[in-house]
């Protein structure tokens, strides 16, 4: 997994695998971060707007 393992040897497989993995992970991470931040923002905004409850 990590280059500091004693048997480590670089090859194509690592680039393909890690490329795909981190691509997917970053989309998920960024997406969730966006949702949470946006939700916090929306919550604060709706409170400022005077709505007492989240129920539409």
Output the DSSP codes for the chain. Answer: --TTSTT----HHHHHHHHHHHHHHHHHHHHHHHHHHHHHHHHHHHHHTT--SS--
Q: Give the total of residues touching other proteins (CB under 8 A).
A: 33
CB 15, min distance to other proteins, A = 9
| Site mask for other proteins (CB under 8 A), range 4-33, x = bound | -x-x-x-x-xx-xxx-xx--xx-xx--xx-
For tokens 């949470």, what's the residue? Answer: 36
Contacting residues toward other proteins, per CB under 8 A: 1-2, 5, 7, 9, 11, 13-14, 16-18, 20-21, 24-25, 27-28, 31-32, 34-36, 38-40, 42-43, 46-47, 51, 53-55
């Amino acid at each position: 997994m990590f280059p500091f393992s004693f048997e480590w040897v670089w090859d194509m497989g690592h680039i393909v695998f890690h490329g795909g993995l981190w691509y997917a992970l970053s989309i998920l991470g960024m997406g969730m971060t966006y949702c949470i931040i946006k939700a916090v923002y929306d919550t604060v905004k709706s409170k400022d707007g005077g709505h007492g409850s989240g129920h539409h």
